[in-house]
Chains A and B, each alone.
Chain A
Amino acid sequence: MSLVFAGVCSHAPGITGRAHMADPDDKETLYSAFDDMREALEASKPDALIVIAAEHFANFFMNNMPAYCIGAADEYEGPIEDPKWLGIERRLIPGNPELSKRIIAKVMKDVDVAYAEEWKFDHGISVPLHFLTPEYELDIIPVNINCQGPPLSPLHRAWAFGQALRKACDEVPERIAIVATGGISHWPATPDSGKINEAWDKEFLQRWCAGDKDALLSYTDEETWQDAGQGGFEIRAFIAISGATIGSQAKVHYYRPIPIFAVGCTTGWVDL
């Protein structure tokens, strides 16, 4: 069939884990934005959801770190975090190994990817699913882009990965949705946690909405680290969506810096 939905959202663990510490209006408007995104996703009637997340050492470590990896398990467990700390119960989430493997084989025609038949979800996937597929009935195909352990894949490779993923989605009969999760500027898990560079975020999101390849790929990692923190490397997930939706405009449906959630909370999706 084809790609039926492509969007982005935040995945910060504070969104669920520290909800009780947030200003009620921040929490309510963000949760409402996630509800809107869930409705848009459901309206696209997907058969499976690919979640491109920058994971945080749930499965991959510097002993064998793939730049890109796609999951192919029949079920996934998550979150790895303490359920009380994250505010999300640990559970099994359905996968579709047969569909995963078909997509992996097609992606491999264009870019090299690792695959994994075992995968545990951390907040990078568990927080978005908590809002977007709360019944956990949709088959999930997890994707990781290494945004944690340098050397990191260059931004133009994230774009190319998105392109390859789109081509694969278009070649399978199922209706596929993709959601990329990550933060824009943020300094998570540091004494700077809560710092957010709103101007940088807005500039990035403007480039993302326009699908402006040259502008999106022009950031260097050094600049990103300086201006957008360690968490800023997760723009790779957003860029993969742009690579998957060349020629389409995207819209940011929610953006608000929420320091207790340690990120400029975002939802957005592409007008396919």
Chain B
Amino acid sequence: MSLYQTQKLLYQLNKDVQMQASFLADHEAIMNNFKLTQEEHDALVNKDIGLLYILGVNGQILMHFAAMCGLAWPEYIQAMRDALAIHGNVRTGLYVTTDGKGAV
């Protein structure tokens, strides 16, 4: 797993408007610069916020990507909850859920 590379891509993307436009136009050109597993690659291409959460992407990085993908806040929270039901708990990192029973 190359969580570091996945997070680095998202970190750069979140703060670079030009890179965001490039990513939306031709995501492969961006992703070729990062060493990603197929699962990570596909999660990014599919904008699978829930799976990215399960892979361990820090919430403060993922939150911005979710917004960039057009998810409203409740949709973003729900995507993570749905992914927990499908994939089980977060595989690594600080953002593992405790009970999934927040208020939104």
| Contact (Cβ within 8 A) A80 B14 | yes
Interface residues of A in 24-83 (CB under 8 A from B): 56-59, 61-63, 80-82
What is the interface residue range for chain B against chain A? 20 to 34
Bound CA span A21–B8, Å: 32
Which of the residues B80, B81, B95, B99 comes within 8 Å of A230, measured between beta carbons? Answer: B95
Nearest chain-A residue to B98 (Cβ)?
A192
Bound CA span A192–B81, Å: 9
| Contact (Cβ within 8 A) B60 A191 | no
| Contact (Cβ within 8 A) B61 A193 | no
Of A128-136, A165-173, A182-190, the stretch lying at the interface with chain B is: A182-190
* B103 contacts the other chain (CB 8 A): yes
| Contact (Cβ within 8 A) B102 A82 | no
Set of chain B residues within 8 Å of A259, measured between Cβ atoms:
102-104
| Contact (Cβ within 8 A) B94 A225 | yes
Report if A61-B103 is in contact (Cβ < 8 Å); known contacts: A188-B59, A191-B77, A230-B59. no
Bound CA span A262–B76, Å: 14
Report if A61-B8 is in contact (Cβ < 8 Å); known contacts: A82-B68, A191-B84, A195-B101. yes
| Contact (Cβ within 8 A) A190 B60 | no
Nearest chain-A residue to B63 (Cβ)?
A189
Set of chain A residues within 8 Å of B59, measured between Cβ atoms:
188-190, 230
* A85 contacts the other chain (CB 8 A): yes
Main secondary structure on A side of the interface with B: loop
Bound CA span A194–B76, Å: 13
Nearest chain-A residue to B8 (Cβ)?
A61
* Chain A window 188-224, contacts with chain B (Cβ cutoff 8 Å), 1 for yes, 0 for no: 1111111100000000000000000000000000000
| Contact (Cβ within 8 A) A192 B64 | no
A178 nearest CB across to chain B (Å): 23
* A153 contacts the other chain (CB 8 A): no
Bound CA span A18–B98, Å: 24
Report if A194-B103 is in contact (Cβ < 8 Å); known contacts: A188-B60, A230-B95. yes
A189 nearest CB across to chain B (Å): 3
| Contact (Cβ within 8 A) A192 B15 | no
A-B CB proximity, top 7 nearest: A189-B59, A194-B103, A259-B103, A56-B60, A194-B102, A191-B100, A189-B63
Sample of 18 more A-B contacts, CB < 8 Å, known A58-B15, A193-B77: A14-B73, A57-B60, A57-B61, A61-B7, A62-B7, A63-B8, A80-B14, A80-B15, A82-B68, A120-B15, A188-B59, A189-B59, A189-B95, A191-B80, A191-B81, A191-B97, A195-B99, A259-B102
